[in-house]
Amino acid sequence: MVEPVGTTLSTPRANGTPHVTSENVLTVRDFSVVYDVDPPVEAVADMSLDLLRGEILGLAGESGCGKTTLAYGIQRLLKPPAVITSGTVVFHDESGTDVDLLALDEASLQRFRWDKASMVFQGAMNALNPVLSIGTQLGDVFETHRPRMSRAERVHECAQLLDIVGVGRDRLRSYPHELSGGMRQRVMIAMALALRPQLMVMDEPTTALDVLVQREILLQISELREEFGFSVIFITHDLPLLLEISDRIAVMKEGRIVELDTASAIYHHASHEYTRKLLGSFPSLTGDRGGFLRTGEGAA
């Protein structure tokens, strides 16, 4: 086994968070996505996955392994040439209703997104409209999904959201260019949190942020999960980051999950060779660089 090396690998977070239950919020079975090009590319192959209510599930793997395709696929956000070829994706609402996401029509999907499940997209801090104020963009979520809310109620909710994510309600009238990268990312998290969803998918939410801001964002995600009890699928190629924030980690390689276990078990007793190579690819700050994962040694 390739041992984790150096101080760049953080000790896994404590598992058994009180909000995590044995009840599924999402069940994915035999899910496959093919990019219909010449020749066809199978990006996700017979994927099966359970997400527990209140859990942070890390999804790790190299660029191109299918992480983002999976995230977009389970929320029906894929565009051609991507095609879902098989499988089921069932959302278990806290009301007791099971929702087959692959069977929903477009109108039902519109109602489902943001309300039951939200997403923080890759490069999200650059996704804000540059010509609209922060308050207007946050308010659009309520105007669309809570049309009976008054303008005063929307402003109040938006102000509370900015307070919750640590931006401050005085930024409601600010424009994106007036905010730092970290603040824009917090606004995107506030937007995803607006309707108190039960599931939040985060695709590389700390990309392009410096390490101090990254740590602040990660701590905030953990604190918000503790407070509101939503589940998180956290996608990144950064395995040490997932060790710190996740309850369980799924390691993907070439469109398949090759290992799924608790963060502690992945850190101390990784069973798959690819996982061990990922762990060993992060250099020590004080010693030898260790083993790096090279193209051809499991790269997707």
How many domains does the structure of the chain reveal? Answer: 2
Is the same domain home to 52 and 140?
no
Is the same domain home to 206 and 277?
yes
Out of 100-104, 164-168, 210-214, which region has the weakest mean confidence (pLDDT)?
210-214
Is the same domain home to 268 and 131?
no
CA 231, CA 200: separation in Å to the nearest integer? Answer: 6
pLDDT digit string (tens) for 157-168? 999 999 999 999
pLDDT digit string (tens) for 229-280? 999 999 988 888 899 899 999 999 999 999 999 999 999 999 999 999 988 8
Is the same domain home to 133 and 230?
no
Is the same domain home to 167 and 33?
no
Report the chain's terminal Cα–Cα distance, integer Å. 21
pTM: 0.86
On whether residue 202 sits in a domain, the answer given is: yes
Neighbouring C-beta atoms of residue 36, cutoff 10 Å? 11
Q: Residue 27 is part of a domain; what is its CATH number? A: 3.40.50.300
Contacts of residue 263, Cβ cutoff 8 Å, sequence gap at least 6: 12, 13, 15, 58, 242, 243, 244, 246, 247, 248, 249
Is the same domain home to 106 and 242?
yes
On whether residue 15 sits in a domain, the answer given is: no
- Tell me the C-alpha to C-alpha distance, in Å, between residue 286 and each of 4, 107, 278, 289, 291: 13, 55, 19, 9, 15
pLDDT at 293: 47
Helices (H), the chain: 67-74, 106-112, 134-145, 151-164, 181-193, 211-228, 239-245, 263-269, 273-280
Is the same domain home to 108 and 34?
yes
Contact between 243 and 249 under an 8 Å Cβ cutoff? The reply is yes
Of 28, 211, 213, the closest CA to residue 102 belongs to: 28
Among the candidates 196, 222, 257, a domain finishes at 196
Backbone dihedral region for residue 28 (phi beyond 0: left; psi -120 to 50: alpha; all else: beta): beta
pLDDT at 124: 67
pLDDT digit string (tens) for 63-95? 899 999 999 999 999 999 999 999 999 999 999
On whether residue 299 sits in a domain, the answer given is: yes
Is the same domain home to 105 and 228?
yes
On whether residue 164 sits in a domain, the answer given is: yes
- Domain range for 290 is 1-10+23-116+198-300
